[in-house]
Amino acid sequence: MADIPGLIEGASEGKGLGHKFLRHIKRTKIILHCISVENEDIGLAYHTIRKELENYDAELVKKKEIVILTKTDLADLESVKKTIRKISKENQEILSVTVYDNDSIKKLKDSLIKIIRGI
């Protein structure tokens, strides 16, 4: 497992530490794509990173990917559900978490353990 700090637009072209981070992703079996619900356009945030992955290496977008919506405490439940419906059109594996809810953290942990054991 690798922790890849937020990729930015242009990472596939070497912007920031893009190439360094993207090289690490090539060695992983699964991508956990964390997106904060603070984003004004979560779909755009999702697609921006997916585009950077594809631009760097088309094989990266073929890897198993799980979207993790973070900071869900900052949005109402209906907004989170709406976001999940929107993203699930492209990726069915979506988890959510807030650090202010121990049940949320436990559910995320248990889900990730189950996924990792299945790899």
Residue 76 inside a domain? The answer is: yes
Half-sphere exposure (Cβ direction) of 11: Cα atoms closer than 13 Å: 24
Per-residue pLDDT band for 90 (boundaries 50, 70, 90) equals: confident
Per the structure, how many domains does the chain have? 1
Residue 110 inside a domain? The answer is: yes
What would the pLDDT profile of 17-56 be if each residue is shown by its tens digit?
Answer: 555 667 777 888 888 888 899 988 888 888 888 888 888 8
pLDDT greater at residue 92 or residue 3: 92
**Full residue range of the structural domain in which residue 33 is found:** 11-117
Q: What CATH number corresponds to the domain at position 91?
A: 3.40.50.300
Residue 108 inside a domain? The answer is: yes
Q: What is the DSSP letter of 116?
A: H
Residue 85 inside a domain? The answer is: yes
